[in-house]
A and B are shown apart, each in its own frame.
Chain A
């Protein structure tokens, strides 16, 4: 190539948005290509929730009771959807750590691409793969007899709320990923993710826990999303008396919004610190 390509049109305001989207999509496509090249990874990623479904649904399930009545497996499935979304921030964090430690982030930063693209691309790819996770989980759920009785739009709204939670957690994931020094340290994120997903209404109703733990579980953003999804699916929800449990739908909308508003600036700040 003898001609040198000099300045493109990124500086023109009307083209800036175009390139922000186009570059974001290119970065997202990279992660989605990973899924195609390593389909086994999806299996690994879904292994945990699927094994949990079998363990809790069948091994413990017979001993579990849902307060207020209802089938435990019906109760459990929306919890599994929520847990997969909640633990998803680890995937985001892990991908960010790898890119930062292997120098890919620096390469992006040394290139004349849209500066927001590494972040938007990451987010877009994570949402698409989270949607795929939900499809696989929902099929698994259908196989073991779970049904949504909420009708088409309510069912769709429930899945949308689940993805809304996952979207908010992208920013926590990016922030944590930028804080994490190396791949090994990223492995220990499980210690944070596990209680975050478990101390919630995913497996059992907060009303069945000791009071103090039940209060934490009820106010966990994961609980609001899971409870709202249960109501929308028409599954047993085992609502407690607390205000937050009575307003699960509101919580499922507001919590992720709050998380996003808090963590986007924190993630951006961390990202900018890379050039210090």
Chain B
């Protein structure tokens, strides 16, 4: 059987003909998906270059999960076209499946089997043959730092360990594209860090990752680019830094010791600001977008000092992705910290 198998292991070359020779690992054009009256996806476009980590960010019910499940060939399209690792997800689902890893919202490992038994089973189902499946399981247990717990039932694993095993199972064929649907939802900070480390090491190995997340800092931490989804379509698509710039660049923020001094501070900031200052009397805070960052900071700091005004804090601050959201979608970002959408 091993011989029969080797004939089909063709390193670095595909047997089928890819639909396009694009350097995109994921290409989605005008995806449509309807559940009854609700349009889960409505003209969803996405182009993910090879070897990058792409974050899908959006409020609850925006269509993130539906998009990932379609791209991972789990859900049928109603319209549009999607290509993953060079193959059409609708017509060449099996070819796509040999090139992707999928980690859904729940850790899809068998809870009664041990870590090793899980990986061996999935390896056999990827048609590696028993011997190669066993060897690959050992490699992955080592790589994901699970070697010590390999022969324990996964019920005894921590959340982070189980998620790492889940990731390892997705990596058995060293896929070109890995889909992660909310990979750290429900994990404690330690587990989240463990998973982030694991994902980063996969990316350094050349895997393209598409991840959805409800944690803004996760997209910030992992993703080179972020697509913001709302109502089933991508409304913004850029690097996290550029998205933040789009919302108004850096902010100069001053917090005073006494609220009575606010008018002076507002005046000082308005002189250097590129937009309207935002005033919060309760927090004794003034903030405004600035373009000449350091010059503005020094200018305001000097003015306040000359006027003899007590300053509690002064600094330059990048807008958070929360603010990006609010600006782009008109929704409060709280909505996306709620628990996930599940297609009906």
- Establish whether residues A30 and B113, one from each chain, have CB atoms under 8 Å apart when the complex forms: yes
Assess whether B258 is interfacial by the CB under 8 Å rule.
no
Assess whether A149 is interfacial by the CB under 8 Å rule.
no
Assess whether B259 is interfacial by the CB under 8 Å rule.
no
Q: Which residue of B lies closest to A102 (CB)?
A: B106
Residues of B within 8 A of A62 (CB): none
Residues of chain B from 10 to 44 with CB closer than 8 A to chain A in the complex: 10-16
Residues of chain A from 1 to 35 with CB closer than 8 A to chain B in the complex: 1-11, 19, 22-23, 26-27, 29-30, 33-34
Residues of B within 8 A of A111 (CB): 97, 122, 125-126
- Establish whether residues B113 and A33, one from each chain, have CB atoms under 8 Å apart when the complex forms: yes
Residues of B within 8 A of A37 (CB): 112-113, 153
A10 to B122 CA separation, bound complex (whole angstroms)? 16
Assess whether A254 is interfacial by the CB under 8 Å rule.
no
Residues of B within 8 A of A53 (CB): none
Interface residue SS majority, chain A: loop
Assess whether A104 is interfacial by the CB under 8 Å rule.
yes
Q: Which residue of A lies closest to B343 (CB)?
A: A276
Residues of chain A from 208 to 224 with CB closer than 8 A to chain B in the complex: none
- Establish whether residues B73 and A110, one from each chain, have CB atoms under 8 Å apart when the complex forms: yes
A29 to B9 CA separation, bound complex (whole angstroms)? 26
- Number of B interface residues in the complex (CB < 8 A): 49
- Establish whether residues B125 and A27, one from each chain, have CB atoms under 8 Å apart when the complex forms: yes
- Establish whether residues B14 and A29, one from each chain, have CB atoms under 8 Å apart when the complex forms: no
Assess whether B76 is interfacial by the CB under 8 Å rule.
yes
Residues of chain B from 103 to 130 with CB closer than 8 A to chain A in the complex: 104-113, 117, 121-122, 124-128
- B298-319 interface code vs A (CB 8 A; 1 in, 0 out): 0000000000000000000000
Residues of A within 8 A of B292 (CB): none
Residues of A within 8 A of B14 (CB): 6-7
Residues of B within 8 A of A23 (CB): 124-125
- Establish whether residues A9 and B8, one from each chain, have CB atoms under 8 Å apart when the complex forms: yes
Given A30-B110, A110-B73, verify A117-B176 contact (CB < 8 Å): no
Min CB distance, B198 to chain A, in Å?
16
- Establish whether residues A108 and B125, one from each chain, have CB atoms under 8 Å apart when the complex forms: yes
Assess whether A106 is interfacial by the CB under 8 Å rule.
yes
Task: Please list the 5 inter-chain residue pairs (A to B) with the smallest Cβ-Cβ separation, ordered nearest first.
Answer: A103-B108, A3-B11, A110-B102, A103-B106, A107-B108
Query: 27 A-B pairs, CB-CB below 8 angstroms?
Result: A1-B136, A1-B139, A2-B11, A3-B12, A4-B173, A5-B8, A6-B9, A7-B15, A23-B124, A27-B125, A33-B113, A37-B113, A38-B112, A102-B106, A102-B107, A103-B106, A107-B104, A107-B122, A107-B169, A108-B125, A110-B72, A110-B102, A111-B125, A112-B97, A274-B74, A275-B74, A276-B75
Interface of B toward A, CB cutoff 8 Å: 4-5, 7-16, 72-76, 94-95, 97-100, 102, 104-113, 117, 121-122, 124-128, 136, 139, 153, 169, 173-174, 176
